[in-house]
Amino acid sequence: MRISRAAWTMLIALALITAFACRSREDAGHGNQTGKLKVVASLFPLYDFARTVGGGNVDITLLLPPGVEPHSFEPRPADMVTLSRADIFIYTNRYMEPWAGDILKATDGSRLLIVDAGRGADFLERTGGEFADEGKSDETGHVSGEGADPHIWLDFSNAKMMVDTIRDAFITRNPAHAEIYRTNAQLYRDRLDALDGQYRNALSGCRKKTMVDGGHYTFGYLARRYGLTYIAAYGLSPDAEPTARDLARISRMLSKEGLKYLFHEELLSPRIAQTIAHETGASLLRLHGAHNISREELRAGTTFLDLMEKNLDQLLTGLQCR
Amino acid sequence: MGMEILEFLNYGFIRRALLAGSLISLICAALGVILVLRRLSLIGDGLSHVTFGSVALAMALNVYPLAVSMPVVVVSSLGILRMTARAGIYGDAAIGVVSSVGIACGILLASIAGGFNVDLFSYLFGNILSISVSEVITAFIVSCAVLAAVYFHFEEIFSITFDEEFARASGIPVDRINTMIMVLTAVTVVLAMKVVGIMLTSALLVLPAVTAFQNARGFRNAMLVAPLASLLSLVSGIALSFSLDLPAGALIVVINFIFFCAAFLVRYLAGGRAN
Amino acid sequence: MTVVESKNLFVNYGALPVLSDVNFSIRQGDYVGLVGPNGSGKSTLIKCILGLLRPAKGSVTLFGAESLAMHQREKIGYLPQRIDFFNPRFPSTVSEIISQGLIANKKGGKVHGKTQIDVMLEHLEISDIKNRLIGDLSGGQQQRVFIARALVNEPELLILDEPGSALDPDIRDNFFSLLRALNEKKGVTIIMVTHDIGGIGEYASKLLYLDKRVIFFGGFDEFCRSENMEQFFGSASQHIICHEHH
């Protein structure tokens, strides 16, 4: 009697688990209409660029679930299924998505067009822990040295180039709508140019020229473009916690430079930034690296340009430009 | 050189680390003595695995981790106690069950929430440099509770740990005190997560105890030496992490181990001479 | 005065009966030898008397109170059977262990009576090892420490589970003299579990023969004269127990 009761319990439990597992996962912006190009993007900026360039002719999916921090993301079986059904897969660069190489191997010979959006971008190379501008990457997207800062989209000239790369991929796969793609891309490039101009003007007359970030090393490209010095508490590697001396050094620097503001990043806990702020009396300002957006931001229809405009606002406060 | 040694005390986050860390290291050592003698050495490991699961849960729910961890880990430790009391399941098996379920739940939750992230990693390895004032206060309150409990029930705890049956026959409320110890252990493990991280919590409980046992001159003696060794390793660990620019948590554990080696050596040499 | 009373006691381990319908009444000043074959339930009975086990049916009362609920634990001294009940590497001094026996006397605070410990140490001739670690002692010395722990609180009832087996012969005589003195001069009730059926007649006044139920409980004279007992145990057994020693 007791044995069969236990068996029933297990059967029911198994049935529940199977039913739960078969529920399809929600992705951001996933639709299922025929006749459109199916595009999968690995990162939010690519997603935003692609949906702008593609307009109504493409069906875009962002691989990252909302609110998820991308540096330790790995695609799961369900993601592979999504990719297998797509026409185009866009990724940022091999430093941001080291797993893209595996996708290449896994989908070799299939009809999936894999787009390295960072090809031809102007990379910031890493030389022994510090970042130095080592010039453009070659045609295959390779940079010599230990690696590079993956956050290329935060330099708007890189962003423009990425828009072009995406446009060309769309045209390759869907030449019928080539004109639409070109028009959309050009409009977006103009907006990026305008944004670039805004940044340039606004940041030229700031009292402070040093950005101190209590999070990871995200804004190297932005700092380079507008002639700012950029320091981050964490290194580029997502796992390395700052040591006591790192925190001491940053605290001293804030005091020395007379900086009243400290930046922190999106999605991740600002504990370290809070510690430094507490130590120095500085105020915290959030800068959004646009890797990924939260559920609320997704619902509000936030765009890349929105995020960058808000960033400019924060920078103007933080660097005491007004 | 003299000025440089004390330079690190200028920073608030170092002072908070020292304060909270000292308290936590003391209670970890005291409880560790009791746990090791009861063959529950792995409980620190087991409960810290549960802590991992609870932190993942907290992050998935977007809630302050300590608030979720405390109750979950307390319940788990009582679960271990319950399982051990039932005939046929020994302490280590009970710990194994709870421990692996904790990790598995953590992995599932983290995956559902979208993947492992940096924040989860920091709980694995400790974030002693970002202890807030409220966390110092929490550490203070918990430490007072643990130290008071151990002090006021010292004789009973000693008797139970040495010979539980005799203790019961003496009229000691064994079950009540065992429950109290398990709850205090759970709370202490959750706090220790801040200092050395989930991976190393076990070390903070076990190492000072076995160091003390090398040359212990009695139970009271062990109960004094273990916390002392633990405290010294914590203070020197933080100080050295500053001067050597290394992560504090791991350094503290290594120093603990060095103390153990020293104690072992002393015992070995003393034993040789007494031939 | 009845010190220990067992009424219709039934104890099971799971579905297996260990004790069935055990009835006896031990009075103050009795010196009871608890004997019986292996698996007869002697240890189980001891645990019931100490209030460590809940019976399936029936009850055991201690000094008039239900053994499980009895609170005046300072009246009881207990010496457990010496089979690995403790970890010899446990860092603890002789003095610390003996003081465990004083806990029952605690009146919310400190354990008093350091001199009680010293007296006990003297009685058992272990004053010189007062601060030694238990693990460093010989088996006989360790046993003396545990005896001291059982006696230190000057209990009215002593429960000893096979105390003589680990003792050195010279100490054993002293120990049994000590027990006799406690029993005869101070009226301490003693229940001693033993396998030493040859020697038990020498010091005990009563015999409780247990084999899952009470086979016999009464004085030694009664036992030796009884014909039933001779039938039950065979004359050899009875002869051993009743054989007179000096």
Instruction: Please tell me chain C's helix, strand, coil percentages from 3-state DSSP, rounded to the nearest 5.
Output: 40, 25, 35
Is A132's pLDDT higher than 80? no
Q: Which of B31, B20, B15 shows the shortest CA–CA distance to B140?
A: B20
Q: What percent of chain C has pLDDT over 70?
A: 87
Rounded Cα distance between B194 and A276, Å, is: 17
Answer whether C9's CB lies under 8 Å from C58's CB: yes
- Chain segment C103-156, per-residue pLDDT in tens: 887 543 345 556 778 888 877 888 889 899 998 888 888 888 999 999 988 899
Rounded Cα distance between C74 and C115, Å, is: 17
Q: How large is the average pLDDT for residues A78-99? A: 90
Q: Rg of chain A's alpha carbons, rounded to an integer?
A: 22
Q: Tell me the shortest Cα–Cα distance from B217 to chain C, in angstroms.
A: 7
Those residues whose C-beta lies under 8 Å from the C-beta of residue B70, and which sit 6 or more positions away, are B186, B187, B190
* Complete DSSP assignment for C200-226: HHHH-SEEEEESSSEEEEEEHHHHHH-
Q: Which of A84, A131, A93 shows the shortest CA–CA distance to A112?
A: A84
In chain C, the residue whose alpha carbon lies closest to the alpha carbon of B214 is C91
Which residues 142-201 of chain B have a CB within 8 Å of chain C? 155-156, 158-159, 161-163, 165-172
Domain ranges of chain C: 21-229
Those residues whose C-beta lies under 8 Å from the C-beta of residue A233, and which sit 6 or more positions away, are A213, A214, A215, A242, A246, A247, A250, A272, A273, A276
Answer whether B199's CB lies under 8 Å from B45's CB: no
Residue-level pLDDT at A136: 42
> What residue numbers bound the domain in which B17 lies?
2-270
Is A218's pLDDT higher than 50? yes
Q: Which of C165, C204, C1, C12 shows the shortest CA–CA distance to C79?
A: C165
Phi then psi for residue A37, to 5 deg, are -70, 130
Residue-averaged pLDDT of chain A: 85
Rounded Cα distance between A309 and A320, Å, is: 17
Answer whether B41's CB lies under 8 Å from B80's CB: no
Distance of CA B38 to the CA centre of its chain: 15
Per the structure, the count of domains in chain B is: 1
Mutate to test the interface with B, among C66, C71, C85, C92 (most CBs of B within 10 A): C92
In chain B, the residue whose alpha carbon lies closest to the alpha carbon of A250 is B11
Residue-level pLDDT at A131: 52
Q: Pairing relation of β-strands C206-210 and C31-35?
A: parallel
Spell out the per-residue pLDDT of chain B, length 275, in tens: 455 667 888 899 999 999 999 999 999 999 999 999 988 888 888 898 999 889 888 888 878 888 889 999 999 888 888 877 775 667 778 888 888 998 898 888 887 776 666 677 778 888 888 899 999 999 999 999 999 999 999 999 999 999 999 999 998 999 999 999 999 999 999 998 877 888 888 899 999 999 999 999 999 999 999 999 999 999 999 999 988 988 888 899 999 999 999 999 999 998 754 43
Q: Pairing relation of β-strands C57-62 and C65-66?
A: antiparallel
- Sign, CA dihedral A139-A140-A141-A142, equals negative
Q: What percent of chain C has pLDDT over 90?
A: 27
Q: How large is the average pLDDT for residues A283-292? A: 94
Which residues 73-132 of chain B have a CB within 8 Å of chain A? 111, 113-119, 121-122, 125, 127, 129-130, 132
Rounded Cα distance between B171 and C68, Å, is: 10
Tell whether domain C21-229 is in CATH 3.40.50.300. yes
Q: How large is the average pLDDT for residues C184-199? A: 86
Residue-level pLDDT at C164: 76
Residue-level pLDDT at B178: 92
- Cβ neighbours of B221 in C, within 8 Å: 91
CA A238 → CA A37, A119, A218, B13, C83, distances in Å? 34, 24, 11, 22, 56
- Chain segment A225-236, per-residue pLDDT in tens: 999 999 998 865
DSSP H or E run through B52: helix B43-61
Q: Tell me the shortest Cα–Cα distance from A245 to chain B, in angstroms.
A: 5
- Considering only the beta carbons, identify the residue of A67, A245, A275 that sits closest to B130: A275
Residue B275 in any domain: the answer is no
Tell whether domain A206-318 is in CATH 3.40.50.1980. yes
Q: Rg of chain C's alpha carbons, rounded to an integer?
A: 18
Residue-level pLDDT at A39: 95
Residue-level pLDDT at A176: 92
Residue-level pLDDT at A310: 96
Output the pTM of the full model: 0.83
- Cβ neighbours of B156 in C, within 8 Å: 103
Residue-level pLDDT at B82: 81
Domain ranges of chain A: 37-198, 206-318
- Please check whether the two domains, A37-198 and A206-318, share a CATH topology: yes
pLDDT category of residue C221 using cuts at 50, 70 and 90 = confident
Question: Per the CB < 8 Å rule, is B14 touching A275?
Answer: no
CA C48 → CA A169, B175, C53, C65, C73, distances in Å? 85, 18, 5, 13, 14
Residue-level pLDDT at C104: 80
Locate the DSSP E strands across B5-68. none
pLDDT category of residue A287 using cuts at 50, 70 and 90 = very high
Question: Per the CB < 8 Å rule, is A244 touching B241?
Answer: yes
- Considering only the beta carbons, identify the residue of B8, B117, B248 that sits closest to A72: B117
User: Neighbouring chains of C at 3+ CB pairs within 8 Å?
Assistant: B
Rounded Cα distance between A207 and A187, Å, is: 34
pLDDT category of residue A141 using cuts at 50, 70 and 90 = very low
Q: Tell me the shortest Cα–Cα distance from A182 to chain B, in angstroms.
A: 35
Rounded Cα distance between B163 and B104, Å, is: 36
- Chain segment C51-68, per-residue pLDDT in tens: 888 899 999 999 888 877
Rounded Cα distance between C178 and B199, Å, is: 56
pLDDT category of residue C233 using cuts at 50, 70 and 90 = low
The CATH number of the structural domain formed by A37-198 is 3.40.50.1980
Query: For the stretch B172-188, what's the b/e string if a residue is b when 16 or more beta carbons lie within 10 angstroms of its beta carbon?
Result: bebeebbebbbbbbbbb
* Partner residues linked to C93 by β-bridges: C133
Q: How large is the average pLDDT for residues A267-292? A: 92
Q: What is the largest CA-CA distance in chain A?
A: 83
Rounded Cα distance between A105 and A192, Å, is: 34
Mutate to test the interface with B, among A62, A241, A243 (most CBs of B within 10 A): A241
Distance of CA C39 to the CA centre of its chain: 17
* Degrees, nearest 5: CA angle B74-B78-B84: 150
Question: Per the CB < 8 Å rule, is B162 touching C91?
Answer: no
CATH number at residue B242: 1.10.3470.10
- Considering only the beta carbons, identify the residue of C80, C85, C90 that sits closest to B37: C90
- Chain segment C195-214, per-residue pLDDT in tens: 877 777 778 889 898 888 88
> DSSP code of C75?
G
Rounded Cα distance between B252 and B194, Å, is: 13
Q: Tell me the shortest Cα–Cα distance from C171 to chain B, in angstroms.
A: 24
